[in-house]
Structure 1
Amino acid sequence: MKKITTIIRIAFIYVGAVVGAGFSSGQEIWKFFACHRIHGLYGIGLAGVFFTGLVPRFFVLGKKIGAKSYQDFFYGFLPPLIAVVFDIIYSCFLVGSVSVMIAGGGTVFKDFLGLSYYFGLFISITFVYLTLYLKTEGIFTVNNILIPGLTIITILTITSFFRTQQTDVFDGFLPLKIKGWQPIIDGLIYGAYNTVMAVAVMTGIVAKKDDKLIILGGITGGGILFFLCIILFAALLTAFKTVPQEEIPMFFIAGRVSNKMYLAYIVALYFAMISTGIANLYAFNRRITSLLSISYETGLFITLFIIVPFAWSGFGNLVGCLYPIFGYLSLFIILYYIILLFKVKNIKKI
Structure 2
Amino acid sequence: MWKAGVKWLFLILGTMIGAGYASGRELWQFFGDESGLAILLFVIMFTISCIVILTLSYEKQSTDYLSVLEAIVGKRLVRLYDYMIILYLFTTTVVMIAGSGATVQAFQLNYWWGVFFITVILIILFIKDIDAVLSINQYIIPLLLVGLMFVLLNFTIHHNLPLFSPWNEQRNWMAAFPFTALNVLPLVAVLGAIGSKVRSKGEIWIASVGSGLTFGIISYIYNNSLIQIADEILLYEIPLFAILNNYSTNMLVFMSILLWIAIFTTAAAGMLGIVTRMKRFIQSPIWVLVVGSLLLMLPLTMFGFSTLISYIYPAYGILNLYILTRLVLYPIFKSA
What's the offset of the Cα at 1:222? 2.1
- Which of 85, 89, 98 is the aligned partner of 2:93? 98
Equivalent residue, structure 2, for 1:254 = 244
Q: State the distance in 1 between where 2:44 and 2:271 align.
A: 26
Deviation at 1:141, TM superposition (A): 2.8
Q: CA deviation at 1:292?
A: 2.7
Distance 1:74 1:161 in 2: 41
1:30 is matched with: 28
Q: How many angstroms apart in 1 are the aligned matches of 2:181 and 2:46?
A: 9
Please, what TM-score do these two structures have when normalized by structure 2? 0.89
List aligned pairs for 1:218-297, cutoff 5 A: 218-240=208-230, 244-297=234-287
Match of 1:217 in 2: 207
Q: How many residues align?
A: 335
Q: Match of 1:203, as an amino acid?
A: G
CA-CA distance at 1:201 after TM superposition: 1.1
Residue 88 in structure 1 maps to residue 83 in structure 2: yes
Matched to 1:239, the amino acid is I
CA separation of 1:75 and 1:29: change in aligned 2, threshold 3 A: closer
Contact 1:161 1:256 in 2 (8 A): no
* Aligned residue in 2 for 1:156: 150
1:135 deviates by: 2.6
Task: Answer yes or no: is 1:6 the counterpart of 2:4.
Answer: yes
One-letter identity of the residue aligned with 2:42: A
Q: Distance in 1 between matches of 2:327 and 2:55?
A: 12
Task: Give the SS at the match of 1:204.
Answer: coil
AA aligned opposite 1:90? I
For the structure 1 residues 332 and 79, does the alpha-carbon distance in structure 2 shift closer, same or farther, using more than 3 Å as the test?
Answer: closer
AA paired with 1:234?
A: N
Structure 2: distance between partners of 1:31 and 1:79:
31
Distance 1:4 1:324, change over 3 A: same
* Matches of 2:192 and 2:208, distance apart in 1: 12
Selected match of 1:46 from 41, 44, 49: 41
1:20 aligns with 2:18: yes
Q: What is the aligned partner in structure 1 of residue 126 from structure 2?
A: 132
Q: Which moved more, 1:18-27 or 1:113-122?
A: 113-122
Question: Are residues 325 and 240 of structure 1, via their aligned partners in 2, closer, same or farther at CA, if it must alter by over 3 Å?
Answer: closer
- The one-letter amino acid paired with 2:9 is A
1:260-289 Cα shifts (integer Å, max 9, x gaps): 222221111111111111101100111111
**2:196 & 2:38 partners in 1: Cα distance?**
31
TM-fit CA distance, 1:211 = 2.0
How far residue 174 of structure 1 moved from its aligned partner, in angstroms, is 6.5
What's the counterpart of residue 114 of structure 2?
120
Superposed CA offset, 1:111-155 (max 9, x none) = 212222222111101112222222332123321222111111111
CA RMSD, 1 decimal:
2.7
Q: Please, which of 150, 161, 164 is the counterpart of residue 169 of structure 1? A: 161
Task: Among all aligned residue pairs of Structure 1 and Structure 2, give the percentage whose two residues are the same amino acid.
Answer: 20
233-242 vs 113-122, which moves further:
233-242
Quote the residue 2:182 is aligned against: 193
Task: Specify whether residues 160 and 134 from structure 1 end up closer, same or farther in structure 2 by C-alpha distance, changes over 3 A only.
Answer: same
Q: 8 Å contact 2:45–2:180 — kept in the other structure?
A: yes
Residue 253 of structure 1 deviates from its aligned partner by 1.2
Provide the C-alpha distance between the structure 2 equivalents of 1:149 and 1:243, rounded to a whole number of angstroms.
25
Question: What is the one-letter code of the residue matched to 1:126?
Answer: V
Q: Which runs of 5+ in 2 are unaligned?
A: none
TM-score when normalising by structure 1: 0.86
